[in-house]
Amino acid sequence: MRLPRKALLPLGAALLSLALVQCKKQAPAPEAPQARTQQVQQAQAPAAVSDVLKAPRPQGGEYLGLYLVDKKVGYAFNDLGLVPGRSDQVRSVNELHFKAQVGARLSERVHREERLYEARPGGRLVAFTIEQRGDGGTQTLVGTATPTGMSVVRKRPGMPDETVNLPPTTEVVEDADPVRVALLRQANVSGSAMDGTDLGTYKMSTTVQPAEERLISGVKVKVGKAVSLSEKEKVPITAWVAEDGRVLELEFGQTMKARAEPEAVAKRLDLVEVFGLTRVVLPRALPPEANAIPGQVKLVMENLPEKFQRDTYRQKYQQQPDGRVLVTLSARAPEPKSLQPRPLADPEGGENLGSSIIVESDSQQIRDLASQLVGKEKDAYTAAKKIVTWVATNLKKDYGASADRATDVLRQRKGDCTEHSLLAVSLLRASGIPARRVDGVIYMVNQDGVPALYWHEWVEAFVGEWTQMDPTFNQVVADATHFGVGQEGNAEITPLIGTLKVVEVK
């Protein structure tokens, strides 16, 4: 079990992509002559180039330190400019390095993206290379624009190359740096970006805010401010940018920040233990009925934004006079009268049956195993229980063996909660059962004896009604110790990390 990758900016695929694609403008303060030199070069650039090239930025790229609850867990490097020797192409480079202690293991992750665009206004994305190393596996994705979309070749050590054909992306060169474009134009901008992990294209918007004064080297200076929002992550990212184009700070909610730093400082990381840093400590242990099926528990919470307070069949919310929220968590097996035979239609339009470069439910390996596990079983819930039980009993619990693709999980047969959930969802969808991953917290008492909620991931399947199941802990009904706040590894839950509190257990 671990903090879901997308809940941590450095680890997470989606938020990682959001940070790198939308925020190519953060870092160390380069020397003023360098910044002036690039501004002169930009002034001499042809008029028919994109505004993304006209906006001032430090020459040679930028470094920034990444902080979670004021502890440094990584750093990033970002750069953007014309391809050397060419005036018709723009290259955007983004690197992210993550390093932290997670339980007893040291987790390290490197994610690097290079994207090429046409340099003209509205220039299209023509190619990209995405490299991933460390936690989550090692692979390289090489994409090239074709007349009908994007052709992506996936390269992995010791494995044959795979080719995936994607539909066209609407991402254009201005989307490589929407904050600087918006501040240059002094106007809000909208666009889209291809996610660096699932390769889906998502809309995003950037809103210019009134300029602010900030203290820089002991002197108050006026800085530009803009807020970016992706339809996928739904985490507002606030950027403060100096007049010479240096990004001074980025804020991802209250607990995650990126700060401009010189290279040597950016690369100097704290040794952070993520579980202890991000857990939600409880005032007392949960009662035994929280673990029963059916079961229930009530928690009084603070700092739970209203957008997370959506009543479901498992979670009910009641505002308290003091501004706190009473959350009732309950768990039960699906009603027998609601159960349906498979294959089932997705009650939410089809997304929960879809295959992707991550879920891979259309992979022949996944389909063959799903068929083997469920056989001729028609009842969707019975089939789902077989899948969850198989995953729970056939995957070794091993944090140091993470993987970001379902077929990789199946091949290595080990991992933590994210691997268990990813493989289970893939097998469920391949069996004609709509399913999705659920992100949230689960109750545990670790070796230090402190009762707490730890970040976790499990699954939800539609078997005639929605029901949550936990393949990590072999629960065909996820008990009431599970509190869900997001879906599909979505970074929307990031602002809760380090701020959510439980003040009473009832």
Task: Give 411's contacts (C-beta < 8 A, 6+ positions apart).
Answer: none
pLDDT at 262: 95
pLDDT of residue 497: 83
Q: Between 390 and 108, name the one with better pLDDT.
A: 390
Looking at residue 24, what is its pLDDT? Answer: 30
Residue 12 has pLDDT above 70, yes or no: no
pLDDT of residue 13: 35
Backbone angles phi, psi at 275, to 5 degrees: -55, -50
Residue ranges and CATH numbers for the domains of the chain are: 5-274 (no CATH), 288-505 (3.10.620.30)
Mean pLDDT, rounded, for 43-64: 83
Helix axes 417-430, 364-374, angle to 10 degrees: 80
Peptide bond into 121 cis (omega under 30): no
Tens digit of each residue's pLDDT (9 = 90 or more) over 410-420: 999 988 899 99
* Average pLDDT of the residues in 296-309: 94
4 pLDDT tier (thresholds 50, 70, 90):
very low
Dist CA 345 CA 425 (whole Å): 15
Any residues with CB less than 8 A from the CB of 56 and at least 6 apart, and which?
A: 35, 38, 39, 42, 180, 243, 244, 245
Q: How high is the pLDDT of residue 3?
A: 30
At 120-161, the pLDDT tens digits run 999 999 999 999 998 778 899 999 999 999 999 999 888 899
In 3D, which of 142, 473, 197 has the Cα closest to residue 359? 197
pLDDT at 448 over 80: yes
Under a CB-based contact definition with an 8 Å cutoff, are residues 242 and 221 in contact? Answer: yes
Q: What is the mean pLDDT of residues 390-410?
A: 86
Burial class (CB in 10 A: 0-12, 13-18, 19+), 493: buried
Q: Of 458, 452, 505, 456, nearest to 477 (Cα)? A: 458
Residue type, 342: R
Residue 429 DSSP code: H
DSSP H or E run through 366: helix 364-374
- pLDDT top residue among 13 and 222: 222
CB burial of residue 437 (10 Å; 0-12, 13-18, 19+):
buried
pLDDT digits (tens, 9 = 90+) for 61-95: 999 999 988 889 999 999 999 999 999 999 999 99
What percentage of the chain's residues is helix, strand, coil (to nearest 5)? 25, 40, 35
Mean pLDDT of the chain, nearest integer: 87
Handedness of CA 95, 101, 105, 106 (dihedral sign): positive
Distance CA 175, CA 206 (A): 10
- pLDDT > 80? residue 258: yes
CA dist 188 and 205 (Å) reads: 8
